[in-house]
Amino acid sequence: MFDVEDRSWIAKSVMAANAEAEITFSLPPTYQPDPNSLDEADAIALPAPASTSADRYDLASKDVVPNEQGLVDHYKAVLRLARQYGHSYNEFSHHMWLRLHFAWDGGAIGFAWYDTLDSMQLVFDWLRKADDGEMWSDVEQGWEMIAVRVGDRFHFRQGGFDQGDEYANVALPREELLASISRLRERMDRIITRLTADLGEDYWTRHRYDLRTDLT
């Protein structure tokens, strides 16, 4: 585990350019009738939401906007199968997970366990409001991240909680990253509005354990 009092790593950060924030829809390609089974022979194939992205089942928000209907059709198939097999929200919620990444020329960092928009918004709010020298950190099940604002850059250190390994140490331009986050939020607002209108529920802003489970 990183020592949050130790800031010596900041001087070693790689100065990166072309920072871009992105959220991907992390879509399992199959639906499992038995949520406790690992046997893929029983899994049911789901429609790919797009045919143009590098990974047809890991769809970036910028690739969704021209192909929103493909994503709608994918989720409709998920919900249809959830109804068919009587699954609760908890049993199919992993089909609704999102993934947040900050990329730059030559690399990227990811926010593991941040799988809904409201959890990501906490990061966005800190980045927008952070004073010079202010630190943010989080640790969760084998993943950890420390961020510090230093002048016109944010320094990020990502690692593995269990072994204390460092996986990335990068400094991203502050204004560039914030502008990218603003564009990302606009895209996601459009996408989630469309999905909610077509599917009848917002499964992406927060974990919805209050949702009806019969999907009727």
Cα–Cα distance for residue pair 194/199, rounded to 1 Å: 9
Q: Are 59 and 71 in contact (CB under 8 A)?
A: yes
- Residue 199: the pLDDT is 96
**Domains in the chain: boundaries:** 10-199
For residue 21, count CB atoms less than 10 angstroms from its CB and return exposed for 0-12, middle for 13-18, buried for 19 or more: buried
pLDDT for 177: 98
pLDDT score for 51: 57
Q: What is the value of pTM for the model shown?
A: 0.90
Give pLDDT, residue 215. Answer: 46
pLDDT value, residue 58 = 79
Give pLDDT, residue 56.
57
pLDDT averages per 10-residue partition of the chain, 216 residues:
88 97 93 91 88 65 88 96 94 94 96 93 97 95 93 96 83 98 97 96 83 45
